[in-house]
Amino acid sequence: MYRLFFFSVLIMGLLSCYEETTLFDEPESPQTGTYPNVDQNLWSHFANFEKEAAARGFNIELNRLRLNAVISEIAENGVLGQCQYSSQYPNRVTIDKTFWSRSSELYREFVVFHELGHCVLDRDHKEDQDQRGLCLSIMRSGLGDCRDAYNSVNRTYYLNELFENVR
């Protein structure tokens, strides 16, 4: 009996000094406000997207979604941004460099949010327009007849529409 007690104490003592390890390391959580594989010029728009989503009841952490995002020339005329779903570039956002260098922060936000609407919210294009011909969605394709009306006055309307129609 004494041996069993001594052996049990010895085993417990050895185990208490044992450093716990796991077979698979948990991936480190990215630091809040940083977005790996995303051009730093886009970070503020990514952070605003998360903030606007949270204001509407959605907890979106873009830094955990393994998005890639770059500002680079897009060869196709009139294309300001793209969200690619290919196996080579899953969820890759590209914003046209020429557009970026010539645009206001608000219009940059419009295009970044549109592309995140595709890549993150799984939204398709929506071509609806009001009686004045104004686009009713930030998700318009640009190929329809409606005119963009995204500005500081009606920004909230467009952001509400973007997040309320999430699948």
Long-range contact list for 140-144, CB < 8 A, 24+ apart?
142/78, 142/80
User: What domains can be seen in the chain, in order of their start residue?
Assistant: 35-164 (3.40.390)
Which of 34, 105, 113 has the alpha carbon at shortest distance from 81?
113
- The predicted structure's pLDDT at residue 131: 95
Residue 63 confidence (pLDDT) above 60: yes
What is the tens place of the pLDDT at every residue in 105-147? 999 999 999 999 999 999 999 999 999 999 999 999 988 889 9
**95 burial class (0-12, 13-18, 19+ CB within 10 angstroms)?**
buried
Pairing of strands 92-96, 68-72: parallel
**What is the identity of the amino acid at 84?**
Q
pTM of this structure: 0.79
What is the tens place of the pLDDT at every residue in 75-105? 999 899 999 977 776 789 999 999 999 999 9
- The predicted structure's pLDDT at residue 111: 97
Nearest-10 Cα torsion for 71, 152, 127, 116: 40
